[in-house]
Every structure is written in structure tokens, then in C-alpha cells.
Copies of this chain bind each other. A is one copy, B any other.
């Protein structure tokens, strides 16, 4: 398939739904981010993505990365495309001007990431991981550290990684074993092995700056004894030039289901020189900055999966001929009707569309809260922080799972051809599968949402959002044309609060209730969140139609997609509610030794 950036829909979400220019106006550094600036960035990204990296998507998958004697070679064309990506300024887009960035908002960077990631997710991993390392350095680095590393990372001359996972420790970082021993000169000797390090080694940049979790001697056990270190692949002289290689090497790369053009490395630290970043034993706290960025980035991956599935399968559904519509031939001049006439095919296409466009609205909505967290002040900033905290695990888990579902519909629309590599639909499935796993699995996100965010704030974070939804419903309650959306939305919004209260009550009696309810609660929350955004999109579209727009097809399709979402996808909430109500006991009653075959 040939990816085409859905510019009209992006503009709809940015300008019409979320009024991004008003949002940017409200933040001091973004006063000059006008609509034409936004659109020109997006168009430039679309042009680069469609022409330069989309064509490398399938060849990158076929070729994969190769490992030879500690060195990793990226697939043909990746190195050149990366160079161009940096030269065009995409690497530096949302970084601070003081470090060579263009100072654009995070949310605009996120839109660009969607475009790049839809075109070639594996490619987008290389700059993507750098962003996490850059954010960590910006927030927690000393001035000296920033001066040494940031500018070269921002421009993309050097790349960055995040080294968290060890073979025995993924979700549970409290049990990592990598050691950091003080060398007496203010630096540390880092020793241990990290796995699943994206872009841990590659041939695109002269240096790679690893951000590494490790334990100091005598550190407390568990998550409160972990510190964070900068470990450059090549040591850096005081003047910024490269010195000798550090003692960090790539031991091998993983053979994976997908994202094969992204190098997933085993990294060996053999007394490598490291520099403490942030306070001792507070490494995990410093890491949260990165983790939030990475989770939003992964939510974007879910969105791209839905979009790619929609684009790929739509093309096929309009062309492929098979059987006649049950309500009479629609293309009598052909040997059969195009399969888009069949309700089951439309179900898949509309599911992809509803998740892609709804997911886009959620990701941009979320990213604008991140802007306010970064650049806002006072109560507004605190409120944005709470909304971001609540919505991030929903977006990450819900959009990656629904993206994976959509990716599978993309295959299914193609029938047997979907299973063949040529069409790109099966690659979308394989590439997307990781999104439900990395940066915290769906199960971990769900626990974060229900346990830490919702119950942990005594319902306050949730109440922030249900108030927003309630207010929206109030505003539209007299609008007859909105009734089919407002009534169920208001009901679900009330149910959300009640459900939360019931789980909270269960939890006081049985702590396993939270774990038992979490994933279903996440799905319920996701469906309600998207229902809210779809209802808002209907309101915008109805207004545009009432105002006499010429794009009647576009806005009418929005309303019909919302109608589909409310009729066919929202009923899924019935299952989640019923599952939550049956509690923890059906999971926990079986003894471990009864799990046999």
C-alpha cells in the first residue's frame, strides 16, 4: 500500500475540534504558532514521509537489521533517510531552541510523529527513542551535561536510547541488577546487561547516548534503590569532540515478529563510564518523564495501525469484486460487486475508521495537555498534569489494542491475500503487536490507570474528566440532532463514576479486585473517552453543515462514523461491565497446581 497522510482529518482535529491556535496562544512560548505554520509543518512531514520513508517500509521489513561483530547495519536507505530527516529539521522540531531545537509544541511534534510512524514505524523508532533521552536530559541533566550532549542529540547528529529492561526484569524494574560503582572521580563504572534496547547500536550516527538504570553499592532494595546514568557509546572530550570508545557494546540483536528494521539490541556494559543524572536512588522518578513521552509515542503507534489498516483495506474493498450485494447488484456491469457493498466488510472498514479518527482526536487532545504541562503555569498546568496522567494509560493501552484489532481487520478485508507479505497488511499486524507490550503492557497500563491514577487520587482525576463530559452533555442536551449521542454518553459517564465506586468498595474487601477489574476498566474507559470525542466531532460537523460548508461529504461521513461507533462499538461496554461485576473470584479460585494440561 501507499501511505497518504490524512491531512484533511488532521486539520479537522487540530483546527476545528481542538482549536489548536487558541491553545497555543494560551502558552507563552507558542504565541507565534499560527495555523499556516502548523499546516506547513504537517505538509512538509507528509511529503517526506510519503516519498522518502514509506517506500522503505516493506524493504526494511524484508531486509531487517544485520548484526556483525558488535556492529549493526540498518536496512538499505535508512541511513540516508535519517540524514535527510535531520537536515529537514524534523528531529529538532519540538526541542528547545536553546539547544538547537525549533521550539515547536510537543503536540505538533506528535502530529509529525503520527505521519512518520504511519509511513514507516521502524524508521520512526530511531528518532523516537532519542526524544525520550532528550526529554530526560532536559529535565534532569546538569547544565554541564546538557551542554555536552543536548545540542547534538537535538539535531540528530547523535542518537539516544533508554536502557531499562534486563532479561529477568521488564515490568518489574525494582529487581534490576546492573551495578554502578563510583570510580572516585565523580564518574561511575556501569556493569550489567540490558536487553530490548531499541536503537542500542546502529550505523546512522557517530555517537549514541545511553540513559541507563543501575544500582549504586548499598542502595535500598526495589524501586527506591535505582539511579540513572548517562553512558555515551563514545566518550566525549570537554570540547565536545569524540574521544575513545566506552566499554559498552552490542552483544546481539533480537529476531522479532515485527518492527524488523528497528534494531533491538542486547547491550553489555563492562565497567563503562557513566555519569549520574538526577539524584541518587531516584532514577525511576526521573524516568517517569521519559515513560510518559514514550507512552504517548506508543499510543501514536496504535493510531497509525488503525490508519494504515483503513487506508490499505479501503483501497482493496473498493476494487476487489466478489459476490453480489444481498440487497441487489450494485455493479451489474461487472462480474461481481466490489466487496465494500457487504455489511461485514463495512463493519471492518468502519471499525478501522472509527478507531483511526477517534484515536487521532484522543492523541492530539492528550498531547495538548502535555504542552500545557510543559509550558503552562499555575492551576492550568496542574489541571493539565492530572488530565495527562489519567488519559495517558488509557490512550496507550486502548489505542494499541484497538490498533491491533484494526490491523487484523486490515488483513481480513483482503481475505487470503491479507496473509501474503506483498500487500503490507500482515506487516502492519506484526509491527503493531509490540505496541501492546512495550512501554508497559496493556495489563500494566490498566493497573496504572485504575490503581494509581483513579483510585490513587480517590477518584479526583476521574472526576476532572467526567465533569468535562457532563458539561459537554449539558451544553448539547437541547439539541435534538445530538440526542442519539448525548443520551448514551451521559449515561455511560454516570456509569463510569458508579463503576469506579463499586470497584473501590470491592478493593477494600479483596485487594485482588483491582487487578481483576483493571483491564476491563481500561477498555470501558477507552470506549467512553472515544465516545466523548466522537460526540464532540459530531457537534463540530453539525455546525459546519449548518453554516453551509461545501464539504458536506466530509462532515456527513464524520456524523455517520460516530453513529456507527455508538451503534456498533459502544455496546462492547456491556461486556466489560458484566465482567467487572463478576469480580476476582473466577480468576483466583483455581490453585496454581491445577493449571496443567
Contact = CB atoms under 8 A, between A and B. Distances in A.
A592 interface: yes
B416 A437 contact: yes
Interface string A346-376: 1101100100100000000000000000000
Interface string A242-262: 000000000000111110000
Interface string A493-519: 000000000000000001110111011
A511 B347 contact: no
Contact of A446 (B344, B442, B582, B590): B344
Given A171-B322, A515-B344, A595-B353, A415 B429 contact: no
The A interface is mostly helix, strand or loop, or mixed, namely helix
Contacts of A443: 342, 344-345, 412
A23 interface: no
Nearest to A169: B322
A350 B590 contact: yes
Contacts of A585: 567
Q: State the oligomeric state as a number of copies.
A: 2
Interface string A97-123: 000000000000000000000000000
11 contacts: A6-B597, A165-B416, A170-B416, A318-B592, A343-B584, A347-B587, A411-B433, A412-B436, A416-B438, A571-B578, A574-B574
Interface string A579-594: 1001011111111111
Interface residues of A, number: 108
A556 interface: yes
A336 interface: yes
A172 B560 CA distance: 30
Interface string A307-330: 100110010011001110111100
A434 interface: yes
A441 interface: yes
A449 to B, nearest CB: 12
A151 interface: no
Interface in A539-555: 553
Nearest to A3: B597
A288 interface: no
B416 A433 contact: no
Contacts of A406: none
Interface stretch (A13-21, A35-43, A419-427, A456-464): A419-427
A28 interface: no
B575 A579 contact: no
A212 to B, nearest CB: 18
A186 B45 CA distance: 65
Contacts of A596: 314, 553, 557
A433 B411 CA distance: 9
A224 interface: no
A96 interface: no
Contacts of A325: 512
A356 B416 CA distance: 25
A162 to B, nearest CB: 13
B597 A336 contact: no
B4 A519 contact: no
Given A430-B430, A518-B344, A175 B257 contact: no
